[in-house]
Chain A
């Protein structure tokens, strides 16, 4: 019973392509997030969504467009991929916007741009 799942686990693509990463949580949480972990292992928040509405956009290029069809899903679409987009992308969810509870992370999607 995976709480937060992501697909695909690995994604290798050429520069300039457009790709999507899907995320689903079965925890009944209201809030979902995308994090990026670069080659230096720093983990940084990119977006947060609450009940399908964008709450945080941490100055991410507009080539990155999150989409939340319902509160259990938060997909990440990336246009015109660049070499610097290579990283591991983690989806996460939490109960709601302000709770002090835990945040649950997915297994990650390793994106490699050639």
Chain B
């Protein structure tokens, strides 16, 4: 089961910053927060991930609260092409001899409006 909760949907104006919230109150100390997005009819696309510190890359910024119970994905200047379902995922740590796996929840539909 997914360990995160996100709003069902959100709208954002083109050119404005989009702040996507995520709650993960049961996260363990060694579990990463990942963000993926899925544009209609395409495969999921990796955006960013983090453990404790805030992270930034060419696509987005990830702000993780000090208690790690929530995080915010920031798209600094949203474009129409950013319209997608955004998944906030807590990566399940690999078990002995096993591999990590991403457990996707329902995600949040972000609609960027002109």
A27 CA to B22 CA, complexed, in Å: 30
Between A and B, how many residue pairs show CB distances below 8 Å?
A: 57
The contact of B44 among A42, A56, A90, by CB within 8 Å, is A90
Nearest B residue to A48 by beta-carbon distance? B99
Binds A, one of B65-73, B74-82, B101-109: B101-109
Which residues from A are CB-within-8-Å of B51? 100
- Given known pairs A90-B44, A107-B42, A108-B43, the reply for A56 and B49 (CB within 8 Å) is no
Q: Tell which of B41, B85, B99, B106 touches A50, judged by Cβ atoms closer than 8 Å.
A: B99
Count of A interface residues, CB-CB < 8 Å: 26
Residue B100, interface by CB 8 Å = yes
**B104 engages A103 (CB within 8 Å):** no
Tell me if B's interface is mostly helix, strand, loop or mixed: loop
Say whether B49 contacts A98, CB under 8 Å: no
Out of B32, B38, B45, B107, which one reaches A100, CB within 8 Å? B32
- CA distance in complex: A42, B106 (Å): 6
- Which of B46, B98, B102 is the one whose CB lies under 8 Å from A55? B98
Residue of A with least CB distance to B30: A100
Chain A residues within 8 Å of B, Cβ to Cβ: 4, 31, 33, 41-45, 48, 50, 55-56, 90, 92, 94, 97-100, 102-108
Q: Which 4 A-B pairs have the closest CB atoms?
A: A105-B43, A102-B46, A43-B104, A97-B99
6 A-B Cβ contacts within 8 A? A33-B101, A42-B106, A45-B101, A56-B99, A94-B100, A105-B43
